[in-house]
Structure 1
Amino acid sequence: MSFPWAKPYEPTHPLMKWMDEKLPIPRLVYNATGPGYPVPRNLNYFWNFGVLAGAALVIQIVTGIVLAMHYAANASVAFNSVEHIMRDVNAGWFIRYAHMNGASMFFIVVYLHIFRGLYYGSYKAPREMVWLLGVVIFLLMMATAFMGYVLPWGQMSFWGAQVITGFFSAIPLVGEPVREWLLGGFVPDNATLNRFFSLHYLLPFVIAGVIILHIWALHIPGSSNPTGIEVKDEQDTVPFHPYYTAKDGFGVGIFLLIFVALTFFSPNALGHADNYIPANSLSTPAHIVPEWYFLPFYAILKAFTFNFLWIDAKLWGVIAMFGSIALLFFLPWLDSSPIKSSNYRPLYRIFFWILVVDVLLLGWCGMQPAEQPWVILSQLGAIYYFAHFLVILPIVSRIERPLPMPNSITEAVLAKHATDATSASATA
C-alpha cells in the first residue's frame, strides 16, 4: 500500500548509498519493517503472532539443520540415531528438545494467529490473498509436522504413519496407489523414512518462501486492525519502527521465556511416551494418537462411524478431515458482512466463542479412545464445526445488526483513551 506520508529512504553513508544503487536490500527492509511502512496506530498484542510464527520457523530451520547432520534415515538405525543425538552429541539433547517443542510452539502461535484473523475479520477484502496464503502455510506446516513425527521411528511414529497413510486407501481407484507412492512400498519402511526425511527437510524452506509472499501480499493493502476500519490519513498510522519493533520485541521475549521453560523443565509434556519405544510392526499400541496439534482434525476423522449413501464411513472421515481445512479457503466469501471486526458484531462474536469451545472439545475428543461418549461428542463437534462455516456464518452475516462504528481509527483510539481516563478518575 502506498502511503504518501511515509518517510522515504534516504541513505547518508557512502556504503549504504552504493548498496542502494547496486542491490537495494536496505531500502527493501526499510520499506517493509522500518519507518517507511506506516501501520495502524491501534494494533494490540494479537498482532504479535505473525512475528512469533516467523521466530518459531527460524528456530525450526536452525535446529533441523543441526539434527540432519546426525540423523540416519534408515529403519534399522533411525531410532538409535535419535538416541545417539540425545546422549552422545554435544548439546544434542537440547537441539532435539528445542526442535520437538519448537514445533508445538509454532502451532500454538499459528492457531492464535488464525483465531485472531477469525475474530477481527482479517480474511475479508482487501486481504483475501493474505488469508489464502496463510492457509497454504498452515497446510504445509501440517505436512511438515506429520513427516517429522515419523522420523524418530518410535512406536507412535510407525503406527501414526501406518494409520494416517492408510486412510488414503479409502479413496476409490487412486487411493491405494497414492498410499504406496507416499510410503514407497506397502508398509512404512526404509523408503518411507527416506521420502519423509527429504520432504521434511525441504518443506520448511518452501514455507519460508510462501511467508515472503504472505508478507508481500500484506504490504499491498496494509495491516488490518482491531476496529476493522481502513486507514484514512496520517493520523491513523505510526511508523512500524520503532513503535511496533519494540512491541514485537517484547512479544518475542515472552515467547522465548515460555519456549525455554518448556524445553528445559518439561520437554516431553506435549509428546507421547510410546515414542520412546522402538518401532515394532508386530506390536500395536493400545491407543494410537497423533501430535496434539492434529487432534481436532483427527476427531473429525474418527467421527464417521457408519456408511452413508454409497460412501463408506472411512472415506467420509477422510473427506471431512480435508474438508474441514479446505473450508478456510472459502471463508472470505462465506462471510458477506461488510463489518470486519467482531467488536462491532455482537451476534457473530457469540458464535465465534462457541467455535473456539467446539475446536477445544474436538481436540479433547481426538486424544480419547474411539468409544462412547467420545464418539458422539466428536460427531456433535464435527456437525457444529461445519455448520458454523456453511450455515451459521452466511446467515449471521445477513441478519446481524452491527453496533455503530467510529469514523476513523484515530476516533476509536481517542474514544478509548477518554473512557479509560474517566474510569481511572472514578476509581481514584
Structure 2
Amino acid sequence: MSFPWAKQYEPVNPVMRFLDEKLPLPRLVFNAVGAGYPVPRNLNYMWNFGVLAGFCLVLQIVTGVILAMHYASNASVAFASTEHIMRDVNWGWMLRYAHANGASMFFVVIYLHIFRGFFYSSYKAPREMIWLIGVVIFLLMMATAFMGYVLPWGQMSFWGAKVITGLFGAIPVVGEPIQVWLLGGYAPDNAALNRFFSLHFLLPFVIAGAVILHIWALHIPGSSNPTGIEVKQESDTVPFHPYYTAKDGFGLGVFLLIYCGLLFFGPNLLGHPDNYIEANPLSTPAHIVPEWYFWPFYAILRAFTADFFFIPAKLMGVLAMFGAILLWFFLPWLDKGPVRSGHYRPLFRKFWYVFLVAMAILFWCGGAPAEEPYVMLSQLATAYYFLHFLVILPIVSMIERPEPLPYSITEAVLGEDKAAVLGENATPAT
C-alpha cells in the first residue's frame, strides 16, 4: 500500500547509489521490510507468526538440501541411509532432528497464524487474495510434509503412504488410475519413493515462490491489525524497521528457545516409535497414524462410518477431509459481517471459542485409535466444524450487533484524545 508519508529510499554511499540505479534490490528491501514500509502501530504478538513461518521455511530448505546429499531414495537402502545419516554423518543426527522437528514447529506456527486469521477475519476485503494464497501455501505444506514422512521408509512411513494414497481409490471411475499414477505401481515401492523424494525436494521452492506472492499481495492493501480498522492517517502507523524488526526479533528468540528445547531434549517427542522399524509390507502396525499436524483432517476422514444412500462411507470421508480445507477458500464470501476483529463481535467470539474446542477434539481423536468414544467425538466435532463455516458464520454475520469501533487505530491505542487522534498539537489549558 502506498502511503504519502512513507519514508523514501535515498542511498548516500556511491556503491549503493549505483546498485539502486542498475538493480534496485536495496530499494525493494527498504520498501518491503524497512523504514519505507509503514505498518499499523497496534500490532500485537499474534502478528509475529508470519516472520516465524518464513524462518521455518528457510530452516527446512537448508536442512533438507544437506540431508538430500546423504539420502538414497531406493526402497532397499532408504531406511539404512537414514540410519547412516543419524550415526555416521557428522552432525547428521542434529540435521535430521532439526528437519523433523522443524516441520512440526512450522505447522505449529502456521496453525496459530491461521487461527489468528479466523479471529481477526483477515480474509475479508481488501485482503481476499492474501488469504487465498495463504490457503494454497497450506495445501502445498500438507503435500510436502506427507511426502517427507514417507522418506525414512519405516513402518509408519510405508503404511501411511499406503493408506493415504489408497484414499484416491475411493473416487469413482478415475480413483484407481490416479492411485496407480501416484505410486508408479500398485503398492508403495521404489517408484513411489523416488517420486515422493523428488516432489518433497521441489515443493519447498514452490512454497517459497508462493510466499513471495503472499507478501506481494500483503503490501498492496497493507497489514491488517487487531481493531480491523484501516489506516486513516500518519499517526496510525510506524515504520516496520526498527519497531517491528525488534518485536519480531524478540518473538524469534522465544521461538528458538522452544524449538531448541524440543530439538535437544525431546527430539522424538512428536514422532512415532514404529518408524524406527524398517518398512515391512507383510506386517501391518496395530495403529496406523499420520503425523500430528494431519490429525484433525484424519479424524474427519474416519468420522464417516456408514454409507449415505448411494455414496460409500469411504468416499464421504475423503470428500469431507479435502472439503474441510477447500472450504477456507470461500471464507471471504461466507462471512459478510462489516466488522473484522473478533474483539468487537461478541456473538462471533463465543462461537469462535466453541470452534477452538471442536478443533482440539479433532486433534485428539485423530491421533487416537479408531474406536469408541473417539469415533463418536470425531463425528460430533466434524459436524460442528462444517456447521461453523457453512451455517453459523453466515447467520452470525447477518444478525450480530457489533460493539462500537474506535474512530481510528490511534484512538484505539491512545484513547479518546482528540489532539492525539487527529494528529494535532495539543494547546495548553488557559
In the superposition, the TM-score normalised over structure 2's length comes to 0.96
Aligned residue runs from structure 1 range 250-399, under 5 A: 250-399=250-399
| 1:415 equivalent in structure 2 | 415
| 2:425 equivalent in structure 1 | none
* Distance of 1:407 and 1:345 partners within structure 2: 16
Aligned residue runs from structure 1 range 120-269, under 5 A: 120-269=120-269
Determine helix, strand or coil for the equivalent of 2:415: helix
| 1:76 equivalent in structure 2 | 76
> 2:24 matched to 1:53?
no
* Distance of 1:365 and 1:270 partners within structure 2: 16
* Distance of 1:374 and 1:118 partners within structure 2: 26
| 2:43 equivalent in structure 1 | 43
**Identity, % of aligned pairs?**
75
* Distance of 2:364 and 2:181 partners within structure 1: 32
In the superposition, the TM-score normalised over structure 1's length comes to 0.97
**1:146-180 deviations in whole A, cap 9, x for unaligned?**
00000000000000000010010000011000000
| 2:98 equivalent in structure 1 | 98
Residues 1:313 and 1:84: Cα distance change in structure 2 (over 3 Å): same
Determine helix, strand or coil for the equivalent of 1:375: helix
Letter aligned with residue 23 of structure 2: L
Letter aligned with residue 73 of structure 2: A
Aligned residue runs from structure 1 range 18-29, under 5 A: 18-29=18-29
* Distance of 2:190 and 2:82 partners within structure 1: 16
* Distance of 1:228 and 1:367 partners within structure 2: 36
* Distance of 1:407 and 1:352 partners within structure 2: 25
* Distance of 2:56 and 2:4 partners within structure 1: 34
* Distance of 2:363 and 2:32 partners within structure 1: 37
* Distance of 2:245 and 2:70 partners within structure 1: 36
* Distance of 1:382 and 1:107 partners within structure 2: 21
In structure 2, runs of 5+ residues without a counterpart are 418-430
| 1:426 equivalent in structure 2 | none
* Distance of 1:235 and 1:411 partners within structure 2: 10
Total equivalences in the alignment: 417
| 1:404 equivalent in structure 2 | 404
Letter aligned with residue 300 of structure 1: I
Per the TM alignment, residue 415 of structure 1 is displaced from its structure 2 partner at its CA by: 2.2
The list of structure 1 runs, each at least 4 consecutive aligned residues, that deviate by more than 6 angstroms after superposition, is none
**1:91-115 deviations in whole A, cap 9, x for unaligned?**
0000000000000000000000000
**1:173-200 deviations in whole A, cap 9, x for unaligned?**
1100000011110000000000000000
Letter aligned with residue 385 of structure 2: Y
Letter aligned with residue 55 of structure 1: F
| 2:16 equivalent in structure 1 | 16
Per the TM alignment, residue 416 of structure 1 is displaced from its structure 2 partner at its CA by: 9.3
* Distance of 1:363 and 1:249 partners within structure 2: 30
Residues 1:179 and 1:60: Cα distance change in structure 2 (over 3 Å): same
* Distance of 2:330 and 2:256 partners within structure 1: 34
* Distance of 1:396 and 1:322 partners within structure 2: 25
* Distance of 2:94 and 2:292 partners within structure 1: 21
Determine helix, strand or coil for the equivalent of 1:39: strand
Letter aligned with residue 118 of structure 1: F
Determine helix, strand or coil for the equivalent of 2:238: strand
* Distance of 2:416 and 2:289 partners within structure 1: 46
Per the TM alignment, residue 255 of structure 1 is displaced from its structure 2 partner at its CA by: 0.8
Letter aligned with residue 187 of structure 1: A
| 1:424 equivalent in structure 2 | none
Letter aligned with residue 67 of structure 2: L
Letter aligned with residue 398 of structure 1: M
Determine helix, strand or coil for the equivalent of 1:238: strand
* Distance of 2:257 and 2:207 partners within structure 1: 25
* Distance of 1:103 and 1:325 partners within structure 2: 19
Letter aligned with residue 380 of structure 1: L
